[in-house]
Amino acid sequence: MDTTLHDPIVGQVLDGRYRVDARIAVGGMATVYRAVDTRLDRVLALKVMHPALAADVAFVERFIREAKSVARLAHPNVVAVFDQGAQGAYVYLAMEYVAGCTLRDVLRERGALQPRAALDILEPVLAALGAAHRAGFVHRDMKPENVLIGEDGRVKVADFGLVRAVGDVTNTTGTVLGTVSYLAPEQIEYGTSDTRVDVYACGVVLHEMLTGAKPHGGDTPAQVLYRHLNEDVPAPSAAVPGLAAELDELVAAATARDPERRPDDAVALLARARVARAALSDVQLDAVPPRARATAVAGAENRTAVIPRRVLPAEEQVHHTSRLEMPPPGPPPTGPRRRVAVPRRGIVAAVVAVLLVLGVGAGVWYINSGQFTRVPSLLGQSEQEARKRLADAGLDAKVTKDFSETVERGTVISSDPGPRTRIRGDGPVTLVISRGPEIVQVPDVTGVPLAEARRALKQAGLAAGIVTREFDEQTAQGAVVSSSPVAGTDVRPDSGVALVVSKGSPVDMPDVTGESVSEATTELEQAGLKVRIAAVQVNSPEDEGTVARQSAAEGSQLARGDTVTLTVSKGPRLVSVPDVVGETTDRARSLLEAAGFVVEIDRGFPFLGSTVAEQSVDGGDEAPEGSTITIKTEGL
């Protein structure tokens, strides 16, 4: 059944311009429709925020920020945004319409992809994200559903609805936005997002393309989050034996749990992806994977969710009764009153009656006084201390933040209700936490190690933005060379500060091809580099057991501690020599060179011969590829 028939917006013309024809997809924040721009007569996609969210100013601001952010990118691999507007309860974006499918559709239909296809999709995705990263934006919700593949084969990144400027607030307190299967550990644990969370998500997507399954499964989102925090993403070759080691290394680099070990942004990851592709043979690139054994995890994983930072275990939760339970009163006495002796048993009954009256009194006290709690004094305390005091008093806490010139950042400015106020039940009490002065100065972190610089920025009420690395002979490796804005600049609290970190003095990469593995390793280690030997050996003109190729080109500049991968030669490949006797010298040269040989010509006296009389290796015999074949011509 066509559900668009029941959608009230289908058939309408928004802003007198956009005719809504059909519903395409429904998401957590908005619904996407196919529409026609009646002014320009072109088909486009209309993304309309759910009316229930349009009343939320924060959601609307984020929605509008998407339009402004994406419109600034203007990249061929980013779904373009043409217009933004509102009509009544409908807030919308007019976007490029991409006829085709999503990467999720492809994975659901085909399972694992060949490495060549996976890289063909990954590279334009990284190009799009790289443009966003260099423009100062982070996507924060990369997943196969947001990768569109057009009918013409073009790949585009969509749904920048969670995009955030790196210079804006980079912390998310209380909740984490994103899809659980693709969240980076720092998003889950601290709520922080910079360009490296997109790098992590792309590594997970690459793993899924190569294997047909997400790296971390689970029956609930919590199980998936736990595995992202505590387990490395497994190598794709563990699920699909035979995948090249270079692909395993690419996934491992992108999904390192420590963000400092990942490429800095999508541009850096794209460079690594291209190096990995260049190292693979056609056979490795076109390896046909088995049908995916698992194309989806529990549905709870695939939703874009708002995940609480922490839920108290049952034993820490405080429960309160809402009424006082009392036994029903006995029936009233009947008949004439008589003076009777009170036995001992009657005295006990009288005492019980008195206690019962006292019990009623206690109940009245509970209802009128015991249900109320006085708010403790919290002013000047840290947020953590204030929360604990409220919890000890059986009260819940809500937190808002505001600027203060006099109250230290992170401490309580005021509470609502105020100190000593009596409130019913378990609260809640709203705490106003100081964000410090409305304007703060960027501290001087030059020459300081990156981790220490991050702490200094956080203490000042700022956040580390994009981190780039450059060679600098005057600054120790790993220390900050400069910041933007520079030290002493007045900025708003929670602003991002971009840092340039020193890679130390550059190391010029020597040429070690043709050297023995031990000689090459010694030379590189003495230069301050680390050495890795590739698991797969290759045929090459170099002697067997020597270095056939190196991952960094001769003369390129590396940082101390960088790793260079050496591939060992299996020796030249043996190739069948063509029979060129009787051929002209030009024809003979062409045949031999096409077979991979170097040709030398020995012309017979008086040097006018043009027909081959002899060849140094007989036709049909084998010789090492790249070796020299001498042909001799006959004289006249």
What are the residue ranges spanned by the domains of the chain? 1-97, 101-310, 374-434, 440-502, 506-568, 574-633
Reported as a pLDDT band with limits 50, 70 and 90, residue 635 is low
Task: Look at residue 322 and tell me whether its pLDDT is greater than 90.
Answer: no
Q: Which pLDDT does position 348 carry in this prediction?
A: 37
Q: Which pLDDT does position 415 carry in this prediction?
A: 87
The identity of residue 64, as a single letter, is I
Angle ∠(86,90,94) on CA atoms, nearest 5? 60
pLDDT digits (tens, 9 = 90+) for 414-448: 888 887 787 866 668 999 998 877 788 899 999 99
Q: Which pLDDT does position 425 carry in this prediction?
A: 64
- Identical fold at 1-97 and 374-434? no
Contact at 8 Å (CB) between 423 and 429? yes
| CATH for 440-502, options being 3.40.30.10, 3.30.10.20, 3.40.47.10, 3.40.50.1820 | 3.30.10.20
Reduce the DSSP state of residue 227 to 3 states and report it. helix
- Is residue 141 part of the annotated active site? The answer reads yes
Q: Does domain 1-97 have CATH number 3.30.200.20?
A: yes
Reported as a pLDDT band with limits 50, 70 and 90, residue 607 is low
Task: Look at residue 560 and tell me whether its pLDDT is greater than 60.
Answer: yes
Q: Write the DSSP assignment of 492-525 as a string of letters.
A: -TT-EEEEEEE--SEEEPP--TTSBHHHHHHHHH
User: Catalytic residue among 2, 21, 141, 444, which?
Assistant: 141
Task: Look at residue 172 and tell me whether its pLDDT is greater than 80.
Answer: no
Q: Which fold has domain 101-310?
A: Transferase(Phosphotransferase); domain 1 (1.10.510)
Residue with token string 């190391």: 507
Does the pTM exceed 0.75?
no
The packing angle between helices 266-279 and 195-211, to 10°, is: 30
CATH of region 374-434 = 3.30.10.20
Q: Which pLDDT does position 66 carry in this prediction?
A: 66
Percentage, residues of the chain above pLDDT 70: 80
Q: Which pLDDT does position 316 carry in this prediction?
A: 31
Say which CATH architecture domain 506-568 belongs to.
Answer: 2-Layer Sandwich (3.30)
pLDDT digits (tens, 9 = 90+) for 99-137: 889 999 899 988 999 999 999 999 999 999 999 888 888
Q: Which pLDDT does position 363 carry in this prediction?
A: 35
Q: Which pLDDT does position 609 carry in this prediction?
A: 60
Reported as a pLDDT band with limits 50, 70 and 90, residue 319 is very low
Name which residue leads in pLDDT, 161 or 251: 251
CATH of region 574-633 = 3.30.10.20
Task: Look at residue 335 and tell me whether its pLDDT is greater than 70.
Answer: no
